[in-house]
């Protein structure tokens, strides 16, 4: 069972145009609205692919009602903590020849009272899940924090998960990741740019990524899952460093690919798979996701044969998308 926590949920509004010009009237050829936010995206991907999950998030107003209705329609168990504020809207503009341009609102404030109520909701959901699932429970803390969030929030969630016996995963960046590391999460999932920023390193090769990941291990993480864009993904723990990638994948939309990869990794872990299998599953989910116009996708089993995972990565391999800390 995988519980996701999304402190800053969103309604994703995707607008597609056949062309786009500034200072002009542009006509949409298609539009969709979806319940979103990093943890919610993870839960939706898990649910669509048969993995038990529950999504927790603050929400209010008409957009909050839209979120819960959408998730219920997709069969996703949701715990919406009343916030008294509308959920933010994130806009994605899709134009032929471009992967997608996003405009994200900052989100409603998550003050002391709401943060504590969300923490209490997580405690209750974790306690219930741990009693119901013998196979174990994972708590995934995902995404950015809205304005006003107390500094104690993420460390408290990590500590709560560890205290109750859940595996704890953090998919965040910046100060949020830094504070969470000190509490000792079992896994963190930065992308290559977030990893460079967190360590202050220049990441030009796979070896640079592995070295940066090991720095995060020294700072409290149990393992690191780093997404490298077209260069695949790297997994590092105390015993191993793995590099996986896919070939010949059609890319229509990269929005949500990172969330899909985390869902794939957690789905395999939930089934008791070894790290190499979990990494392959992460890449399978991400490769399936980028072939869809929206964040909703089903895993394409035909892509499995295009994925390779090696336990002896070429540390000298140059990244197509290097990063600077």
Residues 140 and 267: beta-carbon distance below 8 Å? no
CA dist 281 and 287 (Å) reads 10
Of 1, 275, 274, which Cα lies nearest the Cα of 135?
1
DSSP code, position 111: -
Task: Please give the backbone phi and psi of residue 59, each rounded to the nearest 5 degrees, phi first.
Answer: -160, 155
Q: Which of 259, 270, 298, 305 is catalytic?
A: 259
The pair of structure tokens assigned to 53 is 């999950």
Other C-beta atoms lying within 10 Å of the C-beta of residue 112: 12
Task: Please give the backbone phi and psi of residue 14, each rounded to the nearest 5 degrees, phi first.
Answer: -100, 125
Q: Is 300 a catalytic residue?
A: no
Q: Rounded to whole angstroms, what are the CA distances from 44 to 189, 227, 298?
A: 18, 20, 10
- Bridge partners of 28, per DSSP, are 17
**Mind telling me the catalytic residues?**
259
């Amino acid at each position: 069972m995988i519980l996701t926590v999304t402190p800053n949920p969103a309604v994703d509004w995707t607008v597609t145009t056949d062309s786009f010009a500034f200072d002009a009237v542009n006509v949409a050829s298609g539009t969709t609205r979806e319940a979103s936010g990093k943890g919610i995206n993870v839960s939706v991907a898990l649910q669509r692919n048969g993995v038990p999950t529950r999504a927790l998030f603050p929400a209010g107003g008409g957009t909050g009602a839209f979120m819960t209705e959408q998730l219920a329609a997709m069969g996703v168990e949701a715990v919406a903590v009343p916030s008294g504020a509308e959920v933010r809207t994130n806009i994605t503009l899709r134009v032929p020849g471009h992967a997608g341009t996003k405009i994200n609102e900052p989100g409603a404030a998550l003050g002391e009272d709401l943060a504590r109520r969300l923490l209490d909701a997580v405690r209750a959901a974790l306690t219930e899940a741990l009693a119901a699932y013998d196979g174990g429970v994972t708590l995934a803390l995902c995404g950015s924090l809205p304005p006003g969030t107390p500094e104690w929030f993420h460390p408290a969630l990590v500590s709560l998960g560890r205290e109750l016996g859940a595996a704890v995963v953090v998919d965040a960046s910046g100060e949020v990741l830094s504070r969470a590391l000190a509490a000792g999460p079992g896994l963190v999932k930065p992308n290559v740019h977030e990893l460079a920023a967190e360590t202050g390193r220049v990441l030009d090769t796979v070896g640079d990524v592995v070295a940066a990941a090991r720095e995060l291990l020294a700072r409290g993480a149990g393992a690191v899952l780093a997404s490298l864009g077209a260069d695949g993904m790297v997994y590092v723990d105390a015993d191993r460093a793995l590099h996986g990638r896919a070939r010949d994948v059609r890319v229509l939309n990269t929005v949500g690919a990172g969330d899909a990869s985390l869902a794939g990794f957690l789905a395999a872990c939930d089934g008791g798979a070894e790290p190499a299998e979990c990494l392959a599953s992460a890449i399978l989910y991400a490769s399936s996701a980028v072939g869809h116009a929206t964040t909703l996708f089903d895993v394409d089993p035909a892509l499995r044969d295009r994925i390779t995972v090696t336990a002896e990565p070429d540390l000298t391999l140059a990244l197509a998308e290097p990063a600077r800390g």
